[in-house]
A and B are shown apart, each in its own frame.
Chain A
């Protein structure tokens, strides 16, 4: 039995517009205590598996889309462990050319002796070449006209570290979007990071608001407002973003609770509020 329950598929099919090959951005916002890793894993799985009715249909023909996973907050070892618990072998996907892992964490500032040949490493000294680095990796395994799914994790770290300002990050995202079908970005949305007059808070607000306006759908993950619970880890809400996605222009909205069985990694259960 899959560790990802069927209800998670609401994120692909019924709750999102059917994708064409035109760029669409999905935004995942989360707080420090509620990681978005499990949802990113789900989207990887949904993209590379062939499921009817999924977000990744093109003209109603479900197709496997390769994934470009760009992470600025974790290395590949962390995700390998998390994906394994979710039943996905990350290294096998890389070997089968179904996934490119772009590591913007390990060698961002210093060259590390441990280097995986199959991983694309980003360095801050070469930030103007990032787009070309990722694009050349995509071209290597691009099959036909089907554009890959692009996943960004922890992009907001770049402006916090002073590597890029908000406008540069947004330009980078838009450039990448134009070479992909569906882009998924995760961002921190804790109020303590957004409020106040500090430059960091102002930039984080500007960044988050800009992404909300560019996204067709926003997945907001947050802790329970009532405190801790044994059988509920947090709540997730799906709302429309500021970018119209098609003629109907409506993402079906919803609010759910979820439970992560083993901390922030491993099996996940998603259910309607009050039905846990």
Chain B
């Protein structure tokens, strides 16, 4: 089902949704010398006019699912304890782009599927509805299509928003979910759009996302043995300073550490780019140099994650790690270097 909305319709819809939901949307926020686009909860109806959808947000909404600093309750409370910041009010995330949707899907694979359920993640996730947003132009340094993400269209979220010159299309992907959450009834009365009109818009946009200079030629997973034996990681990652910016801004990096404050258990983001990440109690560090940590980051995304999750890449191509890096060390450059290094070996991937 496709609906057609004017700017006013969207605002009215969000106003109505705010009665029952916590709406979280991107806003322009000044942080020191930087003007950033960040997801923030809408605090009042007036703020609805300031929602900023034009550019890719500076950070994905990952901190709303895996907070930077998460209090997990007292050790004795058992597995069913709720997150400390828990709110019963369900959340709607507005304007989430395909790269960040893919990031959340990857989190779902890791935290709520297979053999392991993380109850904190699960509660936050099940309490959230995502309204996707179609990109109209390529974000800086992004390469999403190379990792199988379609920036223009997405069927994996209940609702998908497409901004037009005037107004929006809203595509309904999951009627059951919307009905269950009491959202469908608020949308049903909006004007209908046609499949043809939406398709025309999508096709036109896809033109704008034609191939660029960067392509990933190897199949996933990247071969592990060759990564260790045939690639000069030091040469290509020499400028890395060893900070955690790339991993903290990455929509798919989820590594964390536990720590205790008295009996209260906490979880905070950790980063494979830090030396402490792998340091043993003995003082021995199996990854003692920065290029080994870089190798780990790249291989986790392009070898180990695909190996564990049916070939799915561990990178969504949003480009933030490149743009945010203090020395602009480009993951595309490292991938190209990797591929050039192993090509002499006649390796096509998938043999590690």
- A in complex with B: no
